[in-house]
């Protein structure tokens, strides 16, 4: 490495906002100039196996890990972490170590859970970011600007006391604007 501090770019937003597509676009620029790249994803995200795949079908190979401690730089100057909300607090230290080694680090994740609350370690990573891309989607109810992720169970909005993590895509989640987002049983 060059001895220079690395840079962290966090790509956050709701479901269907294009986080993975944006990550692949940015990593492709590095690939064009010959940078070695590695993408890590948590094993809890069993969608797409060992691929980081956007809803539009673009994809790159990924290394599946069970814990942030398995994330290493290896020979790569560019390290990406998909769906960071699935990792524990130790991802923050791993990211700091990568940055200290001069890596360009990209992290994607949901900034809010299905309740509309800050999701896991994403707020901490967003606060460390040198660059932040906060993406939106189109509300699947009113076609407005979606910033929330609506969980749907048996055709109805999931209740507040549902488990925080339920891995899925369009089968369980919709992009919603704040007006259309519903969480039955939300404490007042």
Is the predicted pLDDT of residue 139 greater than 90, yes or no?
Answer: yes
pLDDT digits (tens, 9 = 90+) for 19-68: 999 999 999 999 999 999 999 999 988 776 788 888 887 889 999 999 99
Q: Among residues 36, 83, 117, 131, which one is catalytic?
A: 83
Find out whether 112 and 177 touch, Cβ atoms under 8 Å. no
CA atoms of 110 and 120, how far apart (whole Å)? 9
Task: Note the pTM of the prediction, 2 decimals.
Answer: 0.93
Average of per-residue pLDDT values in the chain:
93
* DSSP 8-class letter at 186: -
pLDDT digits (tens, 9 = 90+) for 104-131: 999 999 999 999 999 999 999 999 999 9
Residues sharing a CB contact under 8 Å with residue 63, sequence separation 6 or more, in sequence order: 38, 39, 40, 41, 50
**Catalytic residue check, 83:** yes
Spatial CA neighbour of 8 closest among 109, 138, 89 = 109
Is the predicted pLDDT of residue 2 greater than 60, yes or no?
Answer: no
Give the CATH architecture of domain 7-136.
Answer: 3-Layer(aba) Sandwich (3.40)
- Dmax (CA) for the chain in angstroms is 53
Is the predicted pLDDT of residue 1 greater than 60, yes or no?
Answer: no
């Amino acid at each position: 490495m060059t001895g220079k501090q690395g840079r962290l770019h966090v790509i956050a937003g709701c479901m269907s906002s294009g986080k993975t597509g944006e990550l692949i676009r940015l990593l492709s620029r590095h690939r064009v100039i010959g940078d070695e790249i590695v993408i890590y994803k948590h094993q809890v995200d069993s969608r797409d196996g060992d691929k980081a795949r956007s809803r539009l079908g673009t994809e790159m190979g990924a290394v599946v890990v069970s814990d942030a401690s398995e994330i290493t730089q290896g020979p790569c100057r560019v390290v990406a972490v998909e769906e960071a909300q699935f990792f524990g607090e130790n991802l923050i230290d791993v990211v700091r170590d990568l940055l200290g080694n001069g890596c360009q680090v990209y992290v994607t994740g949901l900034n809010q859970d299905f309740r509309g609350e800050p999701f896991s370690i994403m707020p901490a990573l967003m606060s460390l970011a040198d660059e932040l891309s906060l993406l939106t989607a189109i509300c699947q109810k009113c076609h407005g600007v979606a910033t929330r992720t609506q969980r749907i169970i048996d055709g109805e909005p999931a209740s507040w006391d549902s488990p925080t993590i339920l891995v899925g895509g369009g089968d369980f989640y919709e992009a919603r604007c704040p007006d259309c987002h519903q969480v039955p049983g939300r404490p007042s």
